[in-house]
């Protein structure tokens, strides 16, 4: 059950657990599966067959390609763009979509760009405006262009949720 | 009084002086105060209780967090994202919002990202695509990732408005 | 003839060849001319009098200023922002718009920002998140902030279309 603002486009076959909300001017594509209490901000595009764990927070102006996989408690800041095509060309005959995989408790800062096929491991953090061209290991913070490691978390992040996989995470 | 395009979401308690315009697919949050002749482009999200001086120009695809403060004659280019949370995490117990403060006559280039708690002082300019991690002094131009000083304005910018606070600026 | 999703704003004087599609929450400005089979994704703003060749693909959350010129088979990734004003200031008395010129078979990666007056020559590619401050020669790939050359294409890109101007390209 989704509580939707005015002016939303939500495909009829979207599945969602309780407590989900979608803000104005957002598109939720066909086949998307949303865990409990997920919130998607305004002006966002959630590609087809994307799967979200529980308590995901997606801010405004976010683009997720088809079949993006998001764990539980993932935070995606405003203006974040993810991609799935390493060699974008019009009518590319060898187009092989590589959507991102985002594990539990990952936070992605505003305006970051995630390149195709990237895996962000549990509890890592991506700085605002980072261009992420390599996988980010669990619990690390990366930033810059291209993104590089800033530091490891000295202690588990709030809640410690990234140490154990959470029931209900896809 | 706001002249609003089709498909806008403007909270009923928004206050505005004469001559304001809001383009399609834009959200103006509750408690926002707009000075005279402000223009907000398409696909933008203006957070709750944001305050704008006179003659502000906000382009398309802009995100402003709640309680952003904009002086008079602020120019915000397309795709600019501002933030208020230094340590974004889902259900963060210590969340302490630090919205940006933008003084009179500031111009922010397209696609720039402004980190939480940043103060952009009067008449400064932020280059397109800059990631702004520190306050920018009055009259300077900063660009890059992270943004660094390019130069000072040799003369006051057009109008010289930044030398004196303007009546009506919040 | 344009096949338009719900919630689109398409000026009545837009001209288009067969097979064009426009997704939700997108604005197509007055005087735009679209070639055959062009697709514009969601949440995009196509400035007035922009001209597109055939088979252009514009993804979501894209901003094109007025009078942008796009050749045939141009690919524009999600979140790309183009600009036309080198010295943005509110009520600038010397405002001289310099929209971008994008030749045939150019691909622009997600989240890239294109500065005013830039010419992207035929078949070149711009990396995701690049900030493009100089013209990009034909067939080269540029990335970074500011964008610099990564390499030349060893062979013509798929289709080889950039070697010859295409009938119907503006």
pLDDT averaged over every residue in chain B:
90
CA distance B140 to chain C (A): 13
Nearest CA in chain C to A83: C110
**CB within 8 A of A155, min separation 6: which ones?**
none
Residue in C101, C70, C96 with CA at minimum distance from that of residue C169:
C70
Residue B170 has pLDDT above 80, yes or no: no
- pLDDT at position B152: 64
pLDDT tens-place string over residues C112-159: 999 999 999 999 999 999 999 999 999 999 999 999 998 765 544 444
User: Residue B115 in contact with residue A97, Cβ under 8 Å?
Assistant: no
Asked if residues C27 and C46 have their Cβ atoms less than 8 Å apart, the reply is yes
**What is the pLDDT confidence band of residue C161, given thresholds at 50, 70 and 90?**
very low
Burial C114-141 (b: 16+ CB within 10 A, else e): bbbbbebbbbbbbbbbbbbbeebebbbb
When computed from its CA atoms, the radius of gyration of chain A, rounded to whole angstroms, is 15
CB-CB neighbors (< 8 A) of A60 in chain C: none
- pLDDT, chain C, mean: 90
Determine the Cα–Cα distance for residues B94 and A25; give it in Å rounded to an integer: 30
Phi and psi for C128 in degrees, rounded to 5?
-55, 135
Helix (H/G/I), strand (E/B), else coil: B12: coil
The whole-angstrom distance between C93's CA and the closest CA on chain A is 31
pLDDT above 60 for A56:
yes
> Would you call C61 an interface residue with chain B, using a CB distance cutoff of 8 Å?
yes
Question: What percent of chain C lies above the pLDDT cut of 90?
Answer: 81
Token output for A40: 């998607």
Distance, in Å, from the CA atom of A48 to the CA atom of A28, rounded to the nearest integer, reads 7
Three-state SS at A162: helix
Distance from the A112 Cα atom to the nearest Cα atom in chain C, whole angstroms: 8
Please give the Cα distance from B146 to B131 (Å, whole number).
5
Q: How many CB pairs under 8 A join B and C?
A: 83
> Model confidence over C31-65: pLDDT tens digits?
999 999 999 999 999 999 999 999 999 999 999 99
Tallying the residues shown for chain A, one arrives at 170
What mean pLDDT comes out for the span C74-83?
A: 98
ipTM: 0.89
C69 CB-near residues (< 8 Å, 6+ apart): C50, C51, C99, C100, C101, C102, C170
At residue B51, φ and ψ (nearest 5 deg) are -125, 130
The domain made up of A1-85+96-152 has a fold known as UDP N-Acetylglucosamine Acyltransferase; domain 1 (2.160.10)
CB A38 within 8 Å of CB A54: yes
User: For residue B91, how far is the Cα from the chain centroid?
Assistant: 26
Note which residues in 99-138 of chain B have CB less than 8 A from chain A. Answer: 111, 113, 115, 131
The residues near A31 (Cβ < 8 Å, ≥ 6 apart) are: A11, A13, A14, A48, A49
Residue B153: pLDDT band by 50, 70, 90 thresholds? low
pTM, full prediction: 0.90
Q: How many CA atoms does the CB half-sphere of A75 hold within 13 Å? A: 22
Domain extent listing, chain A? 1-85+96-152
Nearest to B63 among A24, A57, A78 (CB): A78
Task: Answer yes or no: are the C-beta atoms of B17 and B34 closer than 8 Å.
Answer: yes
Q: Report whether A19 contacts B91 (CB < 8 A).
A: no
Token couple for A37: 């209490």
Span B21-80, pLDDT tens digits = 999 999 999 999 999 999 999 999 999 999 999 999 999 999 999 999 999 999 999 999
* For residues B117-143, average pLDDT: 96
Q: What sign does the CA torsion over A85, A89, A90, A91 have? A: negative
Peptide bond connecting A146 to the previous residue in cis, omega within 30 degrees of 0: yes
What strands, in cross-sheet order, belong to the sheet with B125-126? Answer: B2-4, B20-22, B39-40, B57-58, B75-76, B107-108, B125-126, B140-143, B148-152
Question: What pLDDT band is residue B169 in, cutting at 50, 70 and 90?
Answer: very low
DSSP designation for A17: -
What's phi and psi for B161, nearest 5 deg?
-60, -20
Of C79, C93, C115, the CB nearest to B128: C115
pLDDT tens-digit profile of A74-126?
999 999 999 999 888 898 777 789 999 999 999 999 999 999 999 999 999 99
C20 strand-pairing partners: C2
The chains found to touch A (3+ Cβ pairs under 8 angstroms) are B, C
Residue A163 pLDDT? 35
Q: What is the pLDDT of residue B99?
A: 97
The closest alpha carbon to C43, from B61, A90, A142, B77, belongs to B61
Place of tokens 């939707």: A4
C88's CB contacts (< 8 A; 6+ apart) are B75, B77, B107, B109
CA C83, C85, C89, C91 dihedral sign is negative
Task: Quote the tokens at residue A112.
Answer: 């970051």
Task: Give bridge partners of residue B136 from the DSSP assignment.
Answer: B120
Contact assessment for residue C37 and residue C53, using Cβ atoms and an 8 Å cutoff: no
């Amino acid at each position: 059950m989704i509580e939707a603002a005015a002016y939303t486009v939500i495909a009829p076959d979207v599945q969602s657990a309780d407590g989900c909300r979608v803000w104005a001017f957002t598109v939720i594509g066909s086949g998307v599966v949303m865990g409990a209490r997920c919130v998607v901000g305004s002006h966002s595009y959630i590609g087809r067959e994307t799967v979200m764990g529980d308590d995901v927070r997606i801010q405004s102006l976010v683009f997720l390609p088809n079949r993006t996989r998001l764990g539980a408690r993932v935070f995606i800041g405003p203006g974040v763009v993810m991609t799935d095509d390493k060699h974008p060309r019009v009518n590319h005959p060898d187009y092989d979509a590589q959507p991102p995989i985002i594990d539990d408790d990952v936070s992605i800062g505003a305006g970051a760009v995630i390149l195709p096929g990237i895996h962000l491991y549990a509890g890592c953090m991506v700085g605002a405006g980072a261009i992420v061209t390599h996988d980010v290991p669990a619990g690390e913070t990366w930033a810059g262009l291209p993104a590089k490691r800033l530091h490891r978390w000295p202690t588990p992040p709030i809640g410690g949720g990234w140490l154990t996989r959470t029931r209900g995470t896809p």
